[in-house]
Chain A
Amino acid sequence: MAKRKVGIVSCSGEEIPEGTISRVATRLVLEKLRPEETVTICLPLFLAGGEDERAFAQVFPTITVDGCEKRCAKIGTEKYSGNPTATIVVTDLLGKYPKLNLKSRDELSAEELKFAEEVAEEIAKRVDEALSLESLDKRDEQCRKKEK
Chain B
Amino acid sequence: MPEEGKVAVVACAGMDKALGSVARDSVFRVVEVLRPDKVELLSLPPLLAGVPSQSGLVRSLPVVIVDGCAERCATKLVVKSGGKVSGRILVPTSAKKYSLTPDSASNVGLNGERLSEMIAEEIASIVDKLTEKK
Report A's interface with B, CB cutoff 8 A. Answer: 10-15, 19, 23-24, 26-27, 31, 40, 42-45, 47-50, 70-73, 75-76, 105-106
Contact = CB atoms under 8 A, between A and B. Distances in A.
A47 B12 CA distance: 11
Contacts of A47: 44-45, 48, 73, 77
B99 interface: no
Contacts of B49: 70-72, 75-76
A12 B48 contact: no
Contacts of A12: 13, 15, 24, 43-45
B2 to A, nearest CB: 13
B51 A44 contact: no
Contacts, number: 86
B43 A45 contact: no
Given A27-B105, A44-B44, A47-B77, 15 more contacts: A10-B15, A12-B13, A13-B43, A14-B11, A15-B46, A24-B106, A40-B15, A42-B73, A44-B74, A45-B73, A70-B49, A70-B51, A75-B49, A105-B32, A106-B25
Most buried by B among A10, A44, A49, A72: A44
Interface string B93-122: 000000000000110000000000000000
A82 B87 CA distance: 35
Contacts of B17: 42
Interface string B33-62: 000000001011110110100000000000
Contacts of A42: 14-17, 20, 73
A48 B77 contact: yes
B71 interface: yes
28 contacts: A12-B13, A12-B43, A12-B45, A13-B46, A14-B24, A14-B27, A15-B41, A42-B73, A44-B13, A44-B14, A44-B44, A45-B14, A45-B73, A47-B48, A47-B73, A47-B77, A48-B71, A48-B80, A49-B76, A50-B71, A70-B46, A70-B49, A72-B45, A72-B49, A72-B51, A73-B45, A105-B28, A106-B25
